[in-house]
Structure 1
Amino acid sequence: MVEEHVYHWINNAEVMRMTKTLEKRRRDPRDREAEIVRAAISFFAEHGFDGSTRELATSIGVTQPLLYRYFPNKEALLDRVYEEVFVNPWNKAWEEELKDRSVPIDQRLYRFYCQYSRVILNYEWVRLFMFAGLKGLDFNARYLRFLRKAAFDLVVKEIRAAHGIDTNNEPTDQDAELVWGLHASIFYLGVRKFIYGMPIPEDVEADVALRVQAFLRGAPAILSR
């Protein structure tokens, strides 16, 4: 009787092991890849980009060869991290809303930066951006080139239009620097919280409103010069 019980226990354990193996084999590769990318984002945000793929694989609970099956090298994985964190969250609708001149410019800027702050003011976004700069990766330069085209030049044009300033000339680097000052001040809230461990205003959207108001008190005068 005891032998029969042990036999059934061993048999059931083997069935469970085989079932788990089959489940792993059946997993959609896209799900596994997404899981690796998600883990990589958390890993690099915590440890910086000096962390090795071997350490990353261990933290995920997979083998390094499996990791390389999805990403042939660390650079390919970092490119995917960049896309996932900095590119994909950008909402093209924000650009259309910034162009909507039926809405006052202060309300457009406030709405945009409230929405944008919800995307960037988090642990992973801020720390990855800072670590990338310290490591000398091109994340920062690539992202700022993107921002210049998608947001900064657009904001300059819309401020000009809202205040009757000539909109025919393309925004200059100096014009874009004005918007970068507003943009950076909002990003700095994340630096204070996730890099320095310092408190930030409890009501971030109210703080954004103040920053937008202060910006619009000075920017139109500078842009009209």
Structure 2
Amino acid sequence: MPALPASKAPSPQRRRLSPADRERDIVAGAVAFFAEFGFDGATRDLAQRLGITQPLLYRYFPGKDALLDRVYQEVYQSRWQSEWETAIADRSIPIEERLKRFYRAYAAVIQTYEWVRLFMFAGLKGLDFNSRYLAFLRARLFERMVIEIRAANGLDETAPVSEEEIELIWSLHAGIFYIGVRKFIYGMPIPADPEADIDVKVNAFLNGAPAAFASVIDRAKPARRKVAARK
């Protein structure tokens, strides 16, 4: 008796999703895909990974640039919490504690596989993710931090924020971000207790930054007096 032909395994069916859910599914898949392969990854490969056709992907995002912009919004804009800005300015709490609380919460957002790798890939690819986000940080966080550190140390809050002060803030911020680079780019060990590491970094920064801020403000006073005299 001849053997019966083997039955074919049923092909997986595409999930039926609402348009809003389908868009969220595409964005989440794109974040994971580009974090793994970089921004040279092809949209046809992304569509295949998502189990959809490329034309369907383009129905939601008319081109790769539009998709990348949505990835930026998802990873960098939507995860920022405006409450952090309010907390940094809350002078009822010592500045040391404010910075520690902020960076503990912020590190939980940025020290992730997707956040770190997308940021690094964007820089290598020449995308504007980095410049957009860093400008955002300066306007929403760094200048505010300078003023609050000045206030906590009896320094002039009205003097213009200088590039030297911003660079000092960068030194703290970059040190915390670099923990994620060590883990997700270099595959190197990181501190066993991330919050304790943040506390040490903040303490070290605040032990030196106020004196450096005071020096910068003092050096700028003659130039400000000359400008005021000309008015």
Global fold match (TM > 0.5): yes
Q: CA shift at 1:202, angstroms?
A: 1.2
Structure 1 residue 83, shift from structure 2 partner: 0.4
Work out whether 1:52 is the aligned partner of 2:52.
Answer: no
Q: Does 1:186 find its partner at 2:173?
A: no
User: 1:203 — aligned with what?
Assistant: 193
Matched AA of 1:104: P
- Give the whole-Å Cα distance in 2 for the aligned partners of 1:84 and 1:174: 32
**Identity across matched positions, percent:** 60
Find the aligned partners of 1:35 and 1:177 in 2 and give their Cα distance.
39
Aligned residue for 1:219? 209
Find out whether 1:115 has 2:105 as its counterpart: yes
- Quote the offset at 1:175 in angstroms: 1.0
After superposition, residues 1-225 of structure 1 pair within 5 angstroms as 24=16, 27-225=17-215
Compare the two structures and name the one with the higher helix fraction: 1
Once the two structures are TM-superposed, the CA of residue 170 in structure 1 deviates from its matched residue by 2.5
Distance 1:172 1:63 in 2: 51
Q: Which runs of 4+ in 1 moved over 3 A?
A: none
Q: Deviations over 1:25-44 (max 9, x none)?
A: xx310100000000000000
The AA in structure 1 aligned to 2:108 is R
Deviation for aligned residue 1:156: 0.4
- Unaligned 5+ segments in structure 2 are 1-9, 216-231
What amino acid maps onto 1:199 in structure 2? P
Letter in 2 for 1:89: R
Cα displacement string for residues 64-115 of structure 1 (whole angstroms, at most 9, x for unaligned residues): 0000000000000000000000111100000000000010000000000000
CA distance in 2, matches of 1:180, 1:86: 18
Per-residue CA distance 1:29-66 (angstroms, 9 max, x = gap): 01000000000000000000000111111111100000
CA distance in 2, matches of 1:148, 1:161: 18
Partner of 1:4: none
When normalised by structure 2's length, the TM-score is 0.86
Q: Which runs of 5+ in 1 are unaligned?
A: 1-12
